[in-house]
Amino acid sequence: MKSLTVLVAILVGVLISGCAVNPVTGKNELALMNVSVEQEIQLGGQAYTQALQKMGGEYPDPVLGNYVERVGQRVARVSHRPELKYQFKVVNDSSPNAFALPGGYIAITRGLLITMENEAQLAAVLAHEVGHVTARHSVQELQRSSLIGTTVGLLSALAGGTGYGELLTQVGGLTADLLSKSYSRDQEYEADSLSVDYLIRAGYSAQGAVQLQNIFITKFENGNNADWLNNMFRTHPFSRDRLAAIQNRIATRYAGNRNSFGLDAVDYRNNLGNLNDTVAAYELYDRAQEAEVNGQLDAAIELYHKAMQSAPDHGLLLTSLGMAYLRKEDKVPARRYLLKAVNADSGYFKSRMGLGYIYLENHQAAEAAEQLETSIKLLPTVEGTYLLAEAEEQQGHLPRARDLYQTVVQADRDGKLGQSAAVRLRSMSK
């Protein structure tokens, strides 16, 4: 019995030493590993870059981007962790959603922005996401989940200067997991409570949080809103109880507050920049995407062209049109539109990768490598890495080509490109 007592004492000591402090509550939380603030920021930054690229890149309107950044920073300054270097971006994605990654990296989609009615509602969304960051909800999951091995390996790789292999596998897997993981009921309630506190501290009307929840109720209870069910409500579990909890927090803590700042709908619409003018264009874009999925390539190309009449300089539209022509094996218009896409938005991986493929097909290996290198820096993909390996092989850079093919094999061992890369490696070794 005495030995059992000693064993329990030892185990308790080990567990206590593996505790992390919640910056919001000040309480110790059980953790299989501790993630420092510096590591949190590093992880979040790597995942953020990939997440933005995977979701269509940033929406190309500096006016709107600055507006969202300004509102977000106003909320972040009064949070429990104002020292973090928060970033707030608008993602060029039609689905209504917002997400927060460790370290203060936050994004909101144009699909959610166009749904809201005033700045206080926008501030409520961003405050909620800031709450997830300040309470370290994503980090909590990493510290006590099956991702612990991946996280340890990733932190080690990043500290030592990572290569394409780690970016393709470890960072990519972590990014996908962080974006797809839904928060627990308790975590959502905590973020809701914090959003009310931060709204009030920032000078906004707390009614923004109530109005936002009422919008969610309408969307949630209307069975026709598949976009909401598959996006916002999948990663942010919703219930009427959340609205009641928010109303209760306002009534018990801020009953005397009558601030109405941020409720002006006209002011909000004016601050959305050109977003209002491109709604029709992106509705056509979404239809074109659906047509492509259904194998209707000609119909998709026609819809992309119509979309560009309203937004001719939007890189995502130009890229999608160029890639559609590429799938049709019509390289002349594909090259034209992909060049326009790169000129309109040099920071989107897919246009760079498509243009690199065209150069490779035209035996312009050096030009292809330049585009593909940029594509991989923006978002490491198996496809881009394989194409870059081909470009290096064409130029006679065989050691470099072998390293890249080996990376593809490791990342896609059972896939078509992984098997093809393995064949190329065997051929080069003869």
Please give the DSSP secondary-structure letter assigned to residue 34.
-
Q: Is residue 76 part of a domain?
A: yes
Q: Are residues 48 and 182 in the same domain?
A: yes
Output the pLDDT for position 25: 79
Name the domain count of the chain.
2
Output the pLDDT for position 236: 66
Q: Are residues 217 and 350 in the same domain?
A: no
Predicted confidence (pLDDT) per residue in 66-78, tens digit: 999 999 999 999 9
Output the pLDDT for position 23: 86
Predicted confidence (pLDDT) per residue in 99-138, tens digit: 999 999 999 999 999 999 999 999 999 999 999 999 999 8
Output the pLDDT for position 345: 96
Q: Are residues 33 and 170 in the same domain?
A: yes
Q: What is the DSSP string of 150-217?
A: HHHHHHHHHHT---HHHIIIIIHHHHHHHHHPPPPHHHHHHHHHHHHHHHHHTT--THHHHHHHHHHH
Output the pLDDT for position 20: 72
Q: Average of pLDDT values for 197-221?
A: 92
Tokens of 266: 């006209």
Output the pLDDT for position 6: 41
Q: Average of pLDDT values for 193-200?
A: 98
Please give the single-letter amino acid code of residue 322.
G
Predicted confidence (pLDDT) per residue in 307-366, tens digit: 999 999 999 999 999 999 999 999 999 999 999 999 999 999 999 999 999 999 999 999
Domain final position from 253, 272, 293: 253
Strand blocks (E) in 31-136: 87-91, 98-101, 105-109
Region of poorest pLDDT, from 54-63, 217-226, 261-270: 217-226
Q: What value does the mean pLDDT of the chain take?
A: 88
Q: Average of pLDDT values for 1-18?
A: 40
Output the pLDDT for position 392: 97
Strand pairing category for 105-109 and 87-91: parallel
Output the pLDDT for position 170: 66
Say how far apart CA 322 and CA 340 lie, in whole Å. 9
Q: String of b and e for 374-401 (b: at least 16 CB within 10 Å)?
A: bbbebbbbbbbbbbbbbbbbbeebeebb
Please return the burial class of 124, using the count of CB atoms within 10 Å of its CB with bins 0-12, 13-18 and 19+.
buried
Q: Are residues 225 and 311 in the same domain?
A: no
Give the pLDDT band (50/70/90) at residue 3: very low
Say how far apart CA 66 and CA 59 lie, in whole Å. 11
Residue 1 has pLDDT above 90, yes or no: no
Say how far apart CA 313 and CA 428 lie, in whole Å. 43
Give the pLDDT band (50/70/90) at residue 271: very high
Say how far apart CA 115 and CA 139 lie, in whole Å. 30
Residue 7 has pLDDT above 60, yes or no: no
Question: If we measure between CA atoms, which residue out of 176, 147, 164 comes closest to residue 410?
Answer: 164
Say how far apart CA 417 and CA 406 lie, in whole Å. 11
Question: If we measure between CA atoms, which residue out of 427, 419, 384, 423 comes closest to residue 404?
Answer: 384
Say how far apart CA 84 and CA 71 lie, in whole Å. 16
Q: Are residues 38 and 148 in the same domain?
A: yes
Say how far apart CA 303 and CA 126 lie, in whole Å. 33
> Whole-model pTM?
0.90
Question: If we measure between CA atoms, which residue out of 301, 242, 265 comes closest to residue 114?
Answer: 265
Give the pLDDT band (50/70/90) at residue 270: very high
Query: Looking at residue 373, which CATH number applies to its domain?
Result: 1.25.40.10
Which CA distances in Å does 340 have to 37, 286, 299, 344?
41, 20, 21, 6
Contacts of 289 (CB under 8 A, 6+ apart): 300, 320
Q: Average of pLDDT values for 193-206?
A: 98
Output the pLDDT for position 418: 96
Q: Are residues 189 and 324 in the same domain?
A: no
Say how far apart CA 298 and CA 292 lie, in whole Å. 9
Rounded-to-5 percentages of helix, strand, coil across the chain: 70, 5, 25
Tokens of 421: 């890369």
- Look at the chain and count its residues: 430
Output the pLDDT for position 149: 56
Residue 187 has pLDDT above 80, yes or no: yes
Q: Are residues 198 and 97 in the same domain?
A: yes
Please give the single-letter amino acid code of residue 319.
T
Output the pLDDT for position 169: 64
Output the pLDDT for position 8: 36
Give the pLDDT band (50/70/90) at residue 218: confident
Please return the burial class of 49, using the count of CB atoms within 10 Å of its CB with bins 0-12, 13-18 and 19+.
middle
Q: Is residue 282 part of a domain?
A: no
Q: Are residues 313 and 220 in the same domain?
A: no
Domain final position from 208, 229, 253: 253
Which CA distances in Å does 355 have to 298, 310, 316, 375, 428?
21, 24, 14, 10, 26
Residue 4 has pLDDT above 60, yes or no: no
Instruction: Give residue 193's domain range.
Output: 13-253
Give the pLDDT band (50/70/90) at residue 394: very high
Region of poorest pLDDT, from 45-59, 172-186, 209-223, 296-310: 172-186
Domain final position from 223, 253, 283: 253
Q: Are residues 130 and 216 in the same domain?
A: yes
Give the pLDDT band (50/70/90) at residue 402: very high
